[in-house]
Structure 1
């Protein structure tokens, strides 16, 4: 989940080049439905999105039995320590601040899935 299409493209390319299959969803409410039905290995979300923040999405997914164990990575331009701590408190496995490299993203995915 990313609110910026070019950033979403970049993340998707990084993941595909890292050997991952990507299910792309542009609306937070769709993400909840897709996560419940598809059970992805990991979910990557932004914090600032229309309709629901990444923090809210994280809480919602962690509170649902079907998605509670799916690791979540937050990728955000919000780079304050309090934002990272709040994301982790909501259940995120990792918090990356933009800009990040392909290596950083794929390392976070690998660690989140471990």
Structure 2
């Protein structure tokens, strides 16, 4: 599961280390905390692709963290797998009702947990599963770092490539310039916000040059930002 961003919230240090090792071996980028409040901060700083969330953690319970993640726009649709020693049916139902996508009772097999995480991501973020991202007539080989439109090679600079990759991973989502700045340049970047517009123009030009359809698939959403949209003019 290359490039998938995992947020692990677990207060058992030995278990957290074991789970992190198994997921990193599978290509996940793992950030870990034992603290519920820090988990929310980490999720705000960089939206994870999936959250593994223990029920009993410090400061905020896993249930409350799950509830707040579901209330925030940036994490409302991020898949959450609850990890807990609570095996009673009422607890499982409560976890699912407040927004968890899956529920794993301790003790569990780390390999099974990886398989469950992959299964959830396959449903909600299928682009992360394969090596090729596709949208409309555009395809990106993330291993070879090659982009084609209508079967023809598109030459992109590194920043334009990262921009397009982000759009392809979240097709039809509207991203503000600030969100794109965080996702492509990094949260601590001092790049000016208007730089995003410059690179969007370059990306558009590269994608549209030589295109038979002449359709611009990057849509400008007034006062909101940009999105990858098949119905763009």
Fold-level match, TM-score > 0.5?
yes
Unaligned runs of 5+ residues in structure 1 are none
Q: Distance in 1 between the 2:110 and 2:56 partners?
A: 21
Higher helix share: 1
Could you tell me whether the CA contact under 8 Å between 1:14 and 1:105 is conserved in 2? no
Q: CA RMSD in A?
A: 1.1
Structure number with larger C-alpha Rg: 2
Unaligned runs of 5+ residues in structure 2 are 1-8, 124-233
Q: For residues 11-43 of structure 1, what are the alpha-carbon distances to aligned partners after superposition, in whole Å with 9 as ceiling and x for unaligned?
A: 111211222110112211111111112111101
Higher relative contact order (CA 8 A, sep 6+): 1
Number of residue pairs matched?
Answer: 114
- CA shift, 1:83, in A, is 1.1
Q: Which runs of 4+ in 1 moved over 3 A?
A: none
Could you tell me whether the CA contact under 8 Å between 2:34 and 2:58 is conserved in 1? no
- CA shift, 1:102, in A, is 2.2
SS at match of 2:11: coil
Q: For residues 77-98 of structure 1, what are the alpha-carbon distances to aligned partners after superposition, in whole Å with 9 as ceiling and x for unaligned?
A: 1111111111111101110001
> Where does residue 176 of structure 2 map in the other structure?
none
Q: For residues 19-78 of structure 1, what are the alpha-carbon distances to aligned partners after superposition, in whole Å with 9 as ceiling and x for unaligned?
A: 211011221111111111211110111001121111111001001111111111111111
TM-score by length of 1: 0.93
